[in-house]
Structure 1
Amino acid sequence: MPDSTPAASHSAQLWNTTAYAANGRFVATLATAVTDLLNPQPGEQILDLGCGDGALTAQLAASGAILRGVDVSPAMVSAARARSLQVDQASISDLPYYQQFDAVFSNAALHWIPLAAQPSALASIHRALRPGGRFVAEMGGQGNIAAIRTALSAVLAPHGLDSEALAASFFPSPAHYRSLLETTGFTVHSINLIPRPTPLPGGSDGMSLWLETFRNGVLDRVPDAHRAEALSQTIALLKPVLQDPLTGDWTADYVRLRFHAIRS
């Protein structure tokens, strides 16, 4: 789930809980494979890292495991607490835990941490785990939303904006992230890159809704007089690649990186 504000993650992204619930719920509903890899057990202490509005945290808690969520977004923390979940507000790079959890779980949060901040984030996660504890996560991997990013870069460059720098996302290869994990003191049991074309909700408006939900901070940097045009141009570039010409439905070019590591 999302874990970002400009101050905490260096990203321009801002989260609207209503928009996320309407347009981003697929992030939790498509997490079955990574939750199966976690295999939560009754009584285990598990930290859901970047828990967002807590929808997936609540599902994990149904296993009988003892869940605690953490997210840096005040709006998301409030939404998760409304589900009667135990949730803390903190940055992944500065978690307030020491050898407290049997497992740390994360879905779609780690890619919001730029490369420069990854070592401190992974060290923070390592400290939070008990010796032998497992770290199971899924994040955007190499090639994730490549078409969308390329279109945004092309449209925003004439406005003097670097959409990649503003988004501050990190989509590593398996070899790169394995190296980061092992350098931090994790033993990697598995790490795989998984293409996952993802149907977007909203019919013919699906890409517009996705961009307004997941790249609003980037688009908001475009001068107000040109923002609507920039959105329209981005969608026009993506239509031949990601929109079904018969139904008008959109599919985002997601690629996920899924791994299971153990705290040494």
Structure 2
Amino acid sequence: MICHIKIKGVLHLDWNTNLYDQKHSFVSKYGKNLIELLEPTAGEKILDLGCGTGDLAQQLDEIGVDVIGVDRSEKMIKQAKTKYPLIEFSVQDARSMEFQQEFNAVFSNATLHWIKPPSQALQCIYNSLKREGRFVAEFGGKGNVQIITNAIIQQIEESGFEFQAEHNPWFFPSISEYSTLMETVGFRVTYAQHFDRPTKLEGENGLKNWIHMFANQLFEGIPVDKKEEMITKVEMQLKELLFNEDHWIADYKRIRVIGIKE
């Protein structure tokens, strides 16, 4: 499970790194295709923004990239350092990074939909890049996990609780919305794609594990026993739609973008 820690009004996610590695390895698996879009070459200096437990940074390192991995989660960084002790990892918030013209590229997989406001992170990413540096990212786009989210909110409200909009932890923009944000900070957007990516969740408890891993904040202020009852009802509500033989399918919709610093 994830704990939610509020510090100075900012919500921090205290990730369960073992659950992340064991049951949600698809995050890194799908990131391999994004590395192909990045087209890294040996000797480049690349920032892995939102590196998690380090699997994709390690793939970049194997290519011969001088990679630095950063993540806001201390637990993620601790696990990354344990797994890959020869790679540089550090705890940093994307909205307050102080890198200046250091990187040939910034690479980010499945991270930017957690970061609000997005413009602060984009400005820091832009500042960190050398001239002609590239920003390559994939994250949740408009409509991502909407079926699952709607079912959770429905169960919260039907159980007599009021859902608070500020408990939604995600920013899922359209292509036009995010491209405009990129252009505002100075990027030339050379690629933008929005696509469906139905995502397999492992086993009969896949949906429940996913909710515990990624959607706990939606239940902010709700007693644990009530939350578990709601999750069971969500499973029942969505089983016919999202359960396939022996596993769940999450209704992912993703955005991929490339921006160049001119």
State whether TM-score is above 0.5. Answer: yes
Task: Give the Cα separation in 2 of the matches to 1:9 and 1:112.
Answer: 15
Distance of 2:5 and 2:179 partners within structure 1: 26
- Return 5+ residue gaps in structure 2 as ranges: none
* Secondary structure of 1:260 counterpart: strand
| Alpha-carbon distance in 1 for matches of 2:106, 2:64 | 16
* TM-score, structure 1 as length reference: 0.91
Structure 1 residue 14, shift from structure 2 partner: 3.1
Find the counterpart in structure 2 of residue 100 from structure 1.
Answer: 102
Contact 2:123 2:185 survives alignment (8 Å) = yes
**Does the Cα contact within 8 Å between 1:13 and 1:214 map onto a contact in 2?**
no
Map Cα deviations across residues 117-157 of structure 1 (whole Å, 9 max, x no partner).
Answer: 11111101111111110000000001111101111111123
Tell me which stretches of 4 or more aligned residues in structure 1 moved more than 6 Å: none
Paired residue for 1:252, among 250, 253, 258? 250
Residue 188 (structure 1) aligns with: 189
Q: Which structure shows the bigger proportion of residues in strand conformation?
A: 2
CA distance in 2, matches of 1:165, 1:104: 29
What is the match of residue 168 of structure 2?
A: 167
Q: Residue by residue, what CA displacement relative to the aligned partner does 1:72-99 show, whole Å, maximum 9, x if unpaired?
A: 1010111111111201111000112111
C-alpha distance in structure 2 between counterparts of 1:118 and 1:55, whole Å? 24
Other structure's SS at 1:165 match: helix
Query: What are the equivalent positions in structure 2 for 1:97-246 lying under 5 Å apart?
Result: 97-114=99-116, 117-157=117-157, 158-162=160-164, 164-201=165-202, 203-219=203-219, 221-244=221-244
Check conservation: 2:46, 2:103, Cα contact below 8 A.
yes
Q: Which one-letter code corresponds to 2:108 in the other structure?
A: S
**For residues 198 and 42 of structure 1, do their structure 2 counterparts lie closer, same or farther at Cα, with a shift above 3 Å needed?**
same
Q: For residue 21 of structure 2, what is the aligned residue in structure 1?
A: 21
Number of corresponding residues = 255
Displacement, 1:233? 1.4
- 2:145 and 2:251 in contact (8 A); partners too: yes
> Contact 1:13/1:215 (CA < 8 Å) preserved in 2?
no
Question: Judging changes above 3 Å, is the alpha-carbon distance between structure 1 residues 13 and 238 closer, same or farther for their aligned structure 2 residues?
Answer: farther
> What is the root-mean-square deviation in Å for CA atoms of aligned residues?
1.8
What amino acid is the match of 2:247?
D
| Deviation at residue 45 of structure 1 after TM alignment | 0.3
Change in CA separation of 1:205 and 1:8 when aligned onto 2, cut-off 3 Å = farther
| Worse-superposed segment, 229-238 or 48-57 | 229-238
Secondary structure of 2:95's counterpart equals helix
Alpha-carbon spacing, 1:123–1:23, altered in 2? closer, same or farther (3 Å): same
User: SS at the partner of 2:197?
Assistant: strand
1:62 maps to what in 2? 62
- 1:13, 1:167 within 8 Å by CA — same for their partners in 2? no
| Separation in 1, partners of 2:109, 2:176 | 19
**1:187 aligned partner, one-letter code:** R
Percentage of identical aligned residues: 35
- Tell me what 2:30 maps to: 30
Q: Is the 8 A contact 2:169 2:217 kept in 1?
A: no
Distance apart, 1:168 and its partner CA = 2.0
- 2:219 partner letter: L
- Offset, 1:5: 6.4
Deviations 1:229-251 (A, max 9, x none): 1111121222122112xx23110
Provide the C-alpha distance between the structure 2 equivalents of 1:11 and 1:146, rounded to a whole number of angstroms: 22
* Structure 1 unpaired stretches of 5+: none
Residue pair 2:32, 2:56 contacting (<8 A) in 1 also: no
Match of 1:87, SS state, is strand
Secondary structure of the residue aligned to 1:250 is strand
Whole-angstrom distance in 1 between the partners of 2:220 and 2:19: 16
- Any conservation in 1 of the 2:242–2:248 contact (CA below 8 Å)? yes
Q: Does 1:87 align with 2:89?
A: yes
Tell me the secondary structure at the aligned position of residue 51 of structure 1: coil
**Structure 1 range deviating more: 29-38 or 10-19:** 10-19
Question: Normalization by structure 2: what TM-score?
Answer: 0.92
Amino acid at match of 2:254: R
Q: 2:221 aligns to what SS in structure 1?
A: coil
